[in-house]
Every structure is written in C-alpha cells, then in structure tokens.
Amino acid sequence: MNRFHNRYCASEKWKSVMVGEILPWVLEDLELSGPVLEVGPGPGLVTEALVRYGVEDLTTLEIEQGAADRLRSRFGDAVRVVTGDGEDMALPDGGFSTVLCCTMLHHVPTTAGQDAVLHEAFRVLQPGGVLAGSDSRTSMRMRIYHIRDNFNPVDPGSLGDRLEAAGFRQVQVDATESRFRFRAVKS
C-alpha cells in the first residue's frame, strides 16, 4: 500500500468505520467457533476486534513481511501470524471453520489472483465452513486513495458467480452504495 493508504488504514477514523460499522455487518449472525483465518489483516484493526470478540483460535495471513512482524509484536501468542500470499496459502486443507477477507480483495492486482484467493479460501475451509468478507465499491475517492498502489476493484454483481466457480454454495452478496459484504459456504 502507498504511505497515505497505510496511514489511513491504521487511523482511528478508519477503525471507527471498519470495526464500528463494516465488521459487525460482515459478522452478523456468524458464529466464530473453531479455527478462524483472517486473510490480509494489514495493520490489524479487524484482528484486534476478533481478539476482543473472544476468538481464541485466530490465524492471520499477511503478505507484507513488515506488517506481519508488527502483528506478531502486537498480538504475541494471542494470534498466529503467518507471512504468506492469499493466492497460494501455505496452510493445511480443511484447517479452518471460518475465513475472513475484509477490505483486502481490491489489493490483489489481478482478477485471476482474486479468484485464486477465493479458491484457496475454499481449500482451507472445513466442510460447512464459511467465507465471509467485505470490500469497497469503486469511486473517485477509492481511486485517489490507491494512487501508486494496487487497486483492482471487485464487482459485487459478478462476485456471486466467482464464488460459485470456486466451489462455494449458499452464496450471498449484499451491496450498498459504497461497500459490499459477502458470505459463502463450503459444501
């Protein structure tokens, strides 16, 4: 991420939106029992909220080494931090009951890469496991935030088909003007 975007994503303003509005919407009626994987935690705002919610078996997968190191320092033994790529997760098949992808898919540079993340999420989920997440819709503001940064917006209108192509069922995508959430189950 560019410097501005890094600062914004760690800010109190974004925290109030992400943790106060978006995350409760994503987690609505979702039970977080069993091992949980968070893909692309960045500065760890969602990670912190999940720890506060009482998630005891939490793993994060962060591609940037520096961000992963900061998460390890910040959360210690409370969170297992894995440095790696969501497109090729070095994690076991069927190891998680829930996979969360909150506002990170638009950072994956290609649509094929985003689809690889969805396929990998399917692979690492237990049967009956749930993939849940959110992302921002494209706007001029989003484009400005991502100058000299990866920005590959996800079309919520086609995301359902992409999730089904990855193997998921019971797919749900709900969109507002500025963001969307999604949920899908590994049958």
* CATH number of the domain within which 164 lies: 3.40.50.150
Name all contacts of 4-13 with Cβ < 8 Å and 24+ positions apart: 4/145, 5/145, 5/146, 5/149, 6/43, 8/145, 9/42, 9/43, 9/45, 10/42, 10/43, 10/45
Q: What is the pTM of this model?
A: 0.95
As a whole number of angstroms, the distance between CA 75 and CA 52 comes to: 12
Quick: pLDDT tens for 162-187: 999 999 999 999 999 999 999 999 99
Listed residue (39, 104, 102, 44) closest to 75, CA to CA: 44
- Domains in the chain: how many in total? 1
pLDDT of 4 higher than 70? no
Kindly report the average pLDDT of the chain as a whole number. Answer: 94
Range of the domain at 54: 3-25+33-186
pLDDT of 75 higher than 70? yes
pLDDT of residue 141: 79
Quick: pLDDT tens for 44-57: 999 999 999 999 99
pLDDT of 8 higher than 80? no
**Nearby residues of 73 by Cβ (< 8 Å), 6 or more positions away:** none
State the pLDDT confidence band at 5, using cuts at 50, 70 and 90. low
State the pLDDT confidence band at 161, using cuts at 50, 70 and 90. very high
- Mean local confidence (pLDDT), 72-91: 98
